[in-house]
Amino acid sequence: MDQGTQDRPAILVTGGAKRIGAAIARRFGEAGWHVVIHYGRSAAEAEVLATSLPSAETIQCDLADGDAAVAMVEQLAARLPDWRVLVNSASTFRLDDVRALDPATCDAAMQINAVTPARMTQTFLARATARGGRRVIQMTDQKLANPNPDFFSYTMSKHAAAAAVRMLAMGPAQPADRVYALAPGAILASHDQSEAETEVSHRLNLLKRKTGVDEVADACLWLAEGWLASGETLYVDSGQHLLAQPRDVIYLAREDVRP
């Protein structure tokens, strides 16, 4: 690591090669941070993104392997002199519903979306050094406040992750540290959506507008540099979490655009 990199505050973004994670990585890179872009299988995308940023590197880890994820955090903590932020953005989003939980889907969701991020957070708060307070930002979902029976295991795992945020803020965090949940709404096309369905689903919120991925990235940077009380959840969803939607917006939109 060169001297220029050492002088920059560092951030690790899991799932940072694609989608929301990539937008977050890009935003911090533009703000002068050294960005560690984690990926599982998206090596090419991670490398392209890293080369586009002023100071970045890539790191591979299968987050289904909690021990490997802990080892990754330990290795980074040993060599990053000013590691200020961990963003747990990586997620698995597979379909099952409240009538038929799929055990394999549930196991993967709980491990990747809740258990591994909690273990990474514990290790980060135990090992990382920073020139100010450290920040953990756990990506959750507006479904915390506006649940529906679709993507049952995914939603359960995000509730578990959100509960862990409150407890971690009370436990291993030091007075200057902060542990947050950041809960986006419908931001990017997901699962098997068509373009027409995406256009409809992203406006199913109080403001009837599309929430930009840049808004999530900006919120992440704001949390990283501010002093909101630890343990809080910030919703970035144009008010979607204030509604009561009986199904996931994927299916609400599909019904709306069906010929």
Q: Where are the domains of the chain?
A: 3-257
Give residues with Cβ within 8 angstroms of 18, minimum separation 6.
Answer: 42, 45
- 201-213 mean pLDDT: 96
pTM to 2 decimal places: 0.95
How many separate helices (H) and strands (E) can be counted in the chain? Answer: 10, 7
DSSP H stretches of helix in the chain:
3-6, 19-30, 43-52, 66-79, 103-110, 116-127, 152-170, 195-201, 213-225, 249-257
pLDDT band at 174 (very low <50, low <70, confident <90, very high): confident
| Between residues 186 and 5, the one the model is more confident about | 186
Task: Round to whole Å and give the CA distance between 129 and 26.
Answer: 23
Q: Which fold has domain 3-257?
A: Rossmann fold (3.40.50)
What confidence score (pLDDT) does residue 106 get? 98
What is the share, in percent, of the chain residues with pLDDT greater than 90? 89
Does residue 31 surpass a pLDDT of 50?
yes
117-156 per-position pLDDT tens digit:
999 999 999 999 999 899 999 999 999 999 999 999 999 9
- 12-26 mean pLDDT: 98
Q: Which two tokens stand for residue 123?
A: 């290790």
Kind plus residue range of the DSSP H or E element containing 139: strand 135-139
What confidence score (pLDDT) does residue 85 get? 98
Does residue 258 surpass a pLDDT of 60?
no
What confidence score (pLDDT) does residue 172 get? 81
What confidence score (pLDDT) does residue 163 get? 98
| Between residues 241 and 254, the one the model is more confident about | 241
- 197-210 mean pLDDT: 95
Check if the beta carbon of residue 161 is closer than 8 Å to that of residue 108.
no
pLDDT band at 259 (very low <50, low <70, confident <90, very high): very low
Mean confidence (pLDDT) of the chain: 95
pLDDT band at 257 (very low <50, low <70, confident <90, very high): low
What confidence score (pLDDT) does residue 234 get? 98
Does residue 4 surpass a pLDDT of 70?
no
